[in-house]
Structure 1
Amino acid sequence: MASIRVADEPAFVLHSIPYKETSLILDVFTRQYGRMALIAKGAKRPHSVLRPVLQRFQPLLVSWSGKSELRTLTKSEWVGGTPSLVGDALLCGFYLNELLVKFLAREDDYEKLYDHYTDTISALSNLEFQSKGLEEILRPFELTLLQETGYAAALDYCVETHSAPVSQEQYVYQPERGVRPLQVDDPGHWPVLSGKSLLAIAAGDFSDQETLSESKQLMRFLLGLHLQDQVLTTRQILIDLKKI
């Protein structure tokens, strides 16, 4: 296999672990190549040019080379323009990164999801100037993640009527099928949503409080369904703090 060289690819660091005495192994999310494993040689040295740059939640341009699954980072440049995350926003950032690590296979491109992640990090970094709360920022990202990875069916389509949900009707989200009309014998743990909420969620409109509440129920159900026994540490902290 020939060695591959990639230059100046937009990326974010999702996670890093120490490697030997002076290096790091990075889990990065790139726009065109998806999740990549990169070794940053010498990045732990006190005077390394990489050390101050390889920060989470900051947009980067990275270059790498190699032919194995673990490529070698050759350059990393900070793009700038994004204030550091603090407080609840920082917790939410770690939550987003945990979701990406759990849901995304390596080296599958998710350009739409990458762009949405970029926008979400920007919204969190400017949280004090936003009219939206944490839930209104996080719900659209969760939905995009689930849809782009194939874990969520269309919400504006009823699988039994083959048409859009009716605003005044009640529906359930049935695993493996999607949205269908509510029935009296449906399992109690299936999410129940109004047609109005389903249409709003599908359109990315979380401004209505009922929609926001029902979307929380739906996202928790879908994420739990596919994470199974995997625990996301920051997600549980945020749930316990009633932040999401």
Structure 2
Amino acid sequence: MAEKGRSEYRVDQQPAFVLHTYPWRETSLIVEFFTRDYGRIPLVARGAKRPMSQYRGLLNPFCPLAVSYSGKGEVKNLTRCEWYGTIPMNERVLMSAFYINELLVRLLPRGEPEPALFTIYYDTLKKLAVEKDYLIPLRYFERDFLKVLGYALPSGPFPAKHYRFVRGDFVANDNTAFEGSGISGSTLEALSSNTLQSGTQEWEARMLMRDLIRYYLEDAPLNTRRILNELNKL
């Protein structure tokens, strides 16, 4: 619940996840939260780096939290943080989960409520933790996130054999071989209807999402993708 007074704005018990933290001064952190009712917000966790801080061990990603905060201006003060468990991530999926967080930090505007996306995010984290083929829920999250941002995929039908994403639009191409990345009509249909299969369809969807996200990031690189590429070279 939010309360507005003459001096400050206060929110209590807001469901949230930590997306990223930044050091602030000697003992504090600025924490980027993704909240259910207020979207992405930055909060100052004062004294969070002190050994006896009330926030010690709480401000970690992928843990459902309830946060309370107050203050003026865009960056307000975290006043309370309650822990509601954790979503265990093994090494195989951890980088994918950090990738999702980076997408939210880079593309989701601050202060825009997205309760439906919050639910999708929470559900995706749980699926990453338990599903053997975790890449498919990752593709669905990318699709749904782009839709929230106003970049929805075409709804179909997809009569052509192949499509290409060119300068912000989909272009049909019935040739079986063509330059650049492409996606089959059947894969686009599967991606739209939640029937994506592992293997070729997932790979085509992954390449498409990579092109789409790179386009909307204006070719700015993602740190998680760079780190993953470096790890794959070891």
- Which TM-score band applies after superposition, normalised by the shorter structure? 0.7 to 0.9
1:105-184 alignment runs, 5 A limit: 105-126=109-130, 130-131=131-132, 133-150=133-150, 152-157=151-156, 164-166=157-159, 169-177=161-169, 179-182=170-173
TM-score normalized by structure 1?
0.83
Q: 1:3 to 1:70 in 2, by over 3 A?
A: same
Q: CA RMSD in A?
A: 2.3
1:9 is paired with a residue whose SS is strand
Q: Which runs of 5+ in 1 are unaligned?
A: 158-163
State the partner residue of 2:3. Answer: none
Structure 2 contact 165–171 (Cα < 8 Å) conserved? yes
Structure 1 contact 43–49 (Cα < 8 Å) conserved? yes
Structure 2 contact 87–125 (Cα < 8 Å) conserved? no
Instruction: Letter of the 1:93 partner, please give it.
Output: A
Q: Percent identity?
A: 38
2:158 is paired with a residue whose SS is coil
Q: 1:23 to 1:224 in 2, by over 3 A?
A: same
State the partner residue of 1:161. Answer: none
Q: 1:241 to 1:85 in 2, by over 3 A?
A: same
Measure, in 1, the Cα distance between the counterparts of 2:219 and 2:155: 29
Cα deviation, 1:118-144, whole Å, max 9, x if unaligned, reads 112112233xxx23x232131111111
Q: 1:48 to 1:208 in 2, by over 3 A?
A: closer
Say whether 1:94 aligns with 2:93: no
Measure, in 2, the Cα distance between the counterparts of 1:208 and 1:195: 16
Structure 2 contact 62–87 (Cα < 8 Å) conserved? no
Residue from 38, 42, 58 that aligns with 1:53: 58
TM-score normalized by structure 2?
0.87
Measure, in 2, the Cα distance between the counterparts of 1:3 and 1:229: 39
Q: 1:7 to 1:124 in 2, by over 3 A?
A: same
Measure, in 2, the Cα distance between the counterparts of 1:89 and 1:194: 27
Measure, in 1, the Cα distance between the counterparts of 2:163 and 2:24: 50
Instruction: Letter of the 1:204 partner, please give it.
Output: N
Q: Which runs of 5+ in 2 are unaligned?
A: 1-5
Residue from 45, 52, 69 that aligns with 1:40: 45
Give 1:90 shift.
Answer: 1.7
Say whether 1:7 aligns with 2:15: no
Give 1:205 shift.
Answer: 2.1
Measure, in 2, the Cα distance between the counterparts of 1:208 and 1:83: 24
Give 1:173 shift.
Answer: 2.9
Structure 2 contact 69–79 (Cα < 8 Å) conserved? yes
